[in-house]
Each structure stands twice: as C-alpha cells, then as structure tokens.
A and B are shown apart, each in its own frame.
Chain A
Amino acid sequence: MGENQMITSSQVTDATVRALYRAETSLPPWVLERIKEGLERETNPLARSQLQFMLDNVSLAGSRGLPICQDTGLAIFHVQMGQDLHLDFDLQEAIAQGVRRATSQIPLRPNAVDPVTRENSKDNTGPGMPDIILDRTCGQSLSITAFPKGAGSENMSLVMMLNPADDPMEFIVDAVRERAANACPPLFLGIGIGGSFDLAARLAKHALFNMHRIQPYSRESSQRANRCITHNSSPEEIKKLEENLMKRLNSLGIGPMGLGGDTTVLGLRIEKALCHTASLPVAINFQCWANRSATEVIL
C-alpha cells in the first residue's frame, strides 16, 4: 500500500460547490434521455406539451446557469469514501461550508428550518444538515454526490410496516396512484423492501442513488463496496419485479404532472434486504422528473 493521500478540507468544500452547481442547473444525461424517450412514446397531446416544456426549462436553466427548479432541495449528499482513506478534518463541516457558499453563489433557496419553531437557518445548514450518507468503499477513493431533494417528491415518500401476508407490489401500486400527482411525475422511484423500519428507507434512498450509477472505481471494488449497501441476492428476479411494476404503474394513466398520459414512471429500482419473519417493511422514496444529482470525484 502506498502513502496516505492528502486531501484538504478546502478541496472537499470546492467539490461540494461544483457538485451542487451542476446538480441544480443541469440534469444527468441519462435522466434527460429518459424524459426524451418518454416524450417519444407519449400519445396524449397535453402530456406531450408538459414533457416538452420540462425539457425546454432544463435547456433554459443550463444556458443561464440558473436552478432548474426553485425548490433547490435539502442538502443531501452521498459520499463514497475508501476505507484506507483517513481525513484530518471534519468532513461534515467541509461539506457544510460548500453548502453555505453555494447557497449565496448559485443561489439556492434557503430551505432548512427548525422543525418545531419553523425558524429558517438561512444558509441550508444546521443541526443534521447537510445530511451526509457515507458509504465506505475500497482503497483511498473519495467522491461526493450532491443529491438535492425537493419537498414535493420527498413529502409523498413513505415507509410502511406491512403484514407478511400482504402483497408489497399491490401496496406500491396503490401508494403511487394516490400520491404521484403531487410528486411532479413522471417519477423516479427508489423502493426498499425488507430490512427494518429504517433500513427499508435507507434501501429506498440507495435505490435512487444507484438507479444509474457510473462507478468511479473498478468493477470489482464497486461490487465489494455495493455489498454493504445493497443486498439483492438474485438480480434477475428483482429485474423481473421491477419491469412488471414499471409496466403496471405506467398503465395507470396518471401522466406528467398527474394530468393524464402514458408517462408516469421513468425509472424504478428495488433494493431488498432480509427482514424479520414477522415483518414486511416497504419504503418508497419518490423522486420528481427533475432527478437531480452530480458527482465530483476528488480521489
């Protein structure tokens, strides 16, 4: 093993600002591609005009360097850090510094408030914020993914402790039917099945993170790394579940913005974990059509 790589807190802060800027003003190419594919397939004229306007809005935001959506979200970050990497500074504070700078520079809307007094912290940071979801990977790598999460879709998300006799797919279809219109469809859905109350929610969030991940590290290390966060023992079986569920949801006719159409879900991923024999936890993390994220690889 080589020498310990030196990373400074200002490198992390700068990377945080860059990741937030890209995440807020542009969409990942694969997300844009899914919206365009949706538009190509869509047969409802009103739905087509909604999808076209969304694409035009993304172009406008990109050309002017302005936030796609005024809800610039809660500061959520997925950090992947090699287990051999040791930092001699406070990672939470380095990223918080980046969030504060991005809030005034980009600018972002100050969204973070105290849940009881509703007082706004004015810079999107404070107790618990930014929310840094840290996964340890191999070697000395470090990457930061900004995943700003708007309230429209996050408010529709849920964890439910089902009865093992229940059908989780029926539950998901019902929940999406009732909630989709408020979450800015066409949607991306992160679904966690199994685990415990909170593991189901973590699986659902990781399902969003992993929906179309381009691994910044080697295939082997990414597989090893993923083992700590995803527990899908049989990818083929899950793939089939995902395809069937996607088909059912898109046959509901909810359409863009809930105004009707063929395009309701653009992406869906299920992550599962073992659960107690008496439990069946299911979590659905809704994500809007503007599925924003951007990754900065520091090392």
Chain B
Amino acid sequence: MTVFHLQTPLCQEDVKKLNAGDIVFLKGKVFTARDKAHALIRRQGSPVPLEGAALYHCGPIIQDDSVISAGPTTSGRMARYTEEILALGVKAIIGKGGLPGEPFLNRAVYLAYPGGCGAAAASQLRIRAVHLPELGMAESIWELEAEDLGPMVVAVDSYGRDLYQDVRLSAKAGIEKR
C-alpha cells in the first residue's frame, strides 16, 4: 500500500504506477458528472475536454460559489457509460461502490473516495466553472480545483485487479463453505 500525490491531467505513466490498494491524493482539475451528464455526453459529446481527466461521480451541494458538501455518489448507475467515457481519454474515475473492471484494463483506474464524507471532500475542492448548469445543482458538470483530494483507494487498477470483486468472491466462497 503506497501513497501517491498526483497532479491532473494524468498520463499513462501515472496510471501504470498505481496498484489496487494504493492510496491517492489528487491535485488539479477534477470534473463532476453523474446520471444526466453521462446521458448527455453520449448524445452530444462532452462539453469539456476529458483527455487525461479525473471524472468524479458526484452531485455536490453548492451555495454562493462555494462547495458545501461533495462526497461520491454510487458509480454503478453510470456503469453503462464506462467504455465510452474512458475512450474519451479519462484516466481516473472517482466514485464509490465500484465499476466492472474490464474497461479499465491497460488504460485507467477507479479511485474510491470514502462514501458519505461530503464535508471532508468539500474542504478539498473549490469551483473553477460550471458546465451544463441547466441540468441543476446535482447533475451539472462542475469543474473543480482539487487540493489533495483524498485519501482515495485504488479499487480497480489497470492490471485487472478489482478490490470489490475480490471481496465479493471471498464473501461468496465463505457462504458456500458453510
């Protein structure tokens, strides 16, 4: 378990450094996107450049241009978009609960931010810009500046390792052994 401090945009070398179980703190630009933004990106393309980007599954609370609370949302709802999002050059998807590991192979990582920790995440983020504001507070693409966003766990790495899957399989094996 190694701790990494990385700066966005991320490159392939950054991705290669990371192994499942490592801890990451991110600095630099982070984009939020959830259900509606993903659907819109599929229909119309992305309004922001995503090459090397960190995409955060998050619907923050924003008031008077401040980030009030901004923890991760359940990534599983966006699983159907993973392939095309990574094809746009996203190098890290941040969320909670995990995503199927296959699309990440040889190109990106999934980082787990502790769920429910919205106040902590907000203290590590500030607003740079908002895209698609018509989607509303939770669903807009917020362009945020991260100051050591973390600790995030590398839960899916680019070598095919998936911590959630390991845990699920060993839980299942434990039940079958009974």
Please measure, in the bound complex, the distance between the C-alpha atom of A96 and the C-alpha atom of B155, giving whole angstroms. Answer: 41
Within 8 A of A (CB), among B72-86: 73-74, 76
Contact with B along A34-58 (1 / 0, CB 8 A): 0000000000011001100110110
Closest chain A CB from B17 CB (angstroms):
19
Selected contact of A253 from candidates B68, B138, B170, CB within 8 Å = B170
Residues of B within 8 A of A122 (CB): 136
Residues of B within 8 A of A152 (CB): 73-74, 96-97, 115
Query: What is the number of residues of chain B that contact chain A, defined by CB distance less than 8 Å?
Result: 46
Given A181-B97, A181-B168, A257 and B120 contact (CB-CB distance below 8 Å): no
Residues of A within 8 A of B155 (CB): 259
Please measure, in the bound complex, the distance between the C-alpha atom of A153 and the C-alpha atom of B96, giving whole angstroms. Answer: 12
Selected contact of B69 from candidates A56, A66, A258, CB within 8 Å = A66
Please measure, in the bound complex, the distance between the C-alpha atom of A259 and the C-alpha atom of B117, giving whole angstroms. Answer: 16
Please measure, in the bound complex, the distance between the C-alpha atom of A70 and the C-alpha atom of B95, giving whole angstroms. Answer: 13
Closest chain A CB from B145 CB (angstroms):
17
Please tell me if the beta carbons of B118 and A57 are within 8 angstroms of each other in the complex: yes
Question: Residue on B with the closest CB to A120?
Answer: B136
Please tell me if the beta carbons of A70 and B69 are within 8 angstroms of each other in the complex: yes
The prevalent SS among residues of A at the interface is: loop
Within 8 A of A (CB), among B91-124: 96-98, 112, 114-123
Please measure, in the bound complex, the distance between the C-alpha atom of A67 and the C-alpha atom of B68, giving whole angstroms. Answer: 8
B164 part of interface (Cβ distance < 8 Å): yes
Given A72-B61, A174-B175, A181-B97, A255 and B167 contact (CB-CB distance below 8 Å): yes
Given A54-B116, A69-B117, A288-B116, A181 and B98 contact (CB-CB distance below 8 Å): yes
Interface segment, A10-18, A107-115, A225-233?
A107-115
Interface set of B (CB-CB < 8 Å, partner A): 1, 21, 23, 36, 58-61, 63, 68-71, 73-74, 76, 96-98, 112, 114-123, 136-138, 151, 153, 155, 163-164, 166-168, 170-172, 174-175
* Known pairs A61-B118, A289-B115 / 16 extra A-B pairs, C-beta < 8 Å: A49-B23, A57-B120, A66-B68, A67-B118, A68-B116, A107-B68, A109-B59, A109-B138, A111-B138, A120-B136, A151-B74, A152-B115, A252-B174, A254-B171, A257-B96, A258-B167
